[in-house]
Amino acid sequence: MKILVTGNLGYIGAILTDVLSNSYEVIGLDNGLYEECTLKEEVKPAKQIKKDIRDIEISDLDGVDAIIHLAALSNDPLGELNPDLTNQINFLAVKKIADLAKKAGVKRFVYVSSQSMYGISNSVNELDEYDSEKNPVTEYAKTKWNAEKYLVSLNDEDFLVVCFRPSTVFGASPRLRCDIVFNNFMACAYTTGKIEIKSDGSPWRPVVHVRDVTSALIAGLKAPKSIIAGKSYNVGIENGNYTVKNLADIVQKVMPSCNIVFTKEHLIDPRSYKVSFDRILGDLKDFYKPEWNLEKGAKELIEFFEETNFTEEDFRGKKTNRIKNIQSKINHKIDNNLRFINK
């Protein structure tokens, strides 16, 4: 079975490619924007296509049985830099690849969405995929929700679409990101002895390990049509909702010498929500078996930091922080549309 993974040279993509390669022929498609952002050797796909997702052609899908679509401008702050560009990449390019996939005879389209679409929630209940209101407050969140709605409209007997909404991801990867909350806290604690909380610590953040996200996406390849066709699933673990302060406390538990510091950089963070994982843990119980909690993931990250001689420069620098990486390349290696400059 031939699987095309878009965005394979990213944080999740590196782990997904590794795991998939044990059972499938993997084709990677990535523009290489973060190609140099590696901290250790990674497993390569059987074939690598270096191409912007906006430029994909039907010939790129020749012989492909299924697509796992990761490629995106990948978080809320990054998406706000240029809302029109975010829409081009996170929505219009998704429409294009899905339309081409259906025309090319691809059988399954597994879309990596986001829980950011829940936005601001005043509900005391955990948010459900279908019954809870979508209230996206950022361009990133809006494009993810719009892409989901379009993709589900394409689902039919010959073209299965399933959407997964991961919680905030954590855990070690050759292409580690430190601009996501738990990884950020762990890297800060390891390299500086401090855990820097930029908000007041009260917002809720569901979290999930990168390998459990991979497990969910592979479930999208394996589960029967009768279960998953046209469905959307929150991806996480049982009791997987934490406040930001809870996350910092867990980091301090595994690194007791570290101090928690409130920087007051963002006193109010409007993104706060608790999410239900009942559907994925129920519907996909035979296919999705999450294995990682925060304590296990924290210990894994410490081992990763030791193995890679991880430094404060790595933590704060452009290799592990997406916005800093892009800003370092604008008008030098890439233009304002995030396309490489030919010199």
Residue 208 lies in a domain: yes
- Tell me the CATH number at 115: 3.40.50.720
Residue 340 lies in a domain: no
- Residue 12: strand, helix, or coil: helix
pLDDT in tens, 50-97: 999 999 999 999 999 999 999 999 866 777 778 999 999 999 999 999
Locate 233 and state its tokens: 């699933």
Mean pLDDT of the chain: 94
Residue 234 lies in a domain: yes
112-134 mean pLDDT: 88
pLDDT in tens, 283-292: 999 999 999 9
Residue 334 lies in a domain: no
Residue 285 lies in a domain: yes
Residue 338 lies in a domain: no
What residues pair up with 29 in beta bridges, in sequence order? 6, 49
Number of structural domains found in the chain = 1
Give residue 149's domain range. Answer: 2-329
Residue 341 lies in a domain: no
Position 270 scores a pLDDT of 66
Residue 175 lies in a domain: yes
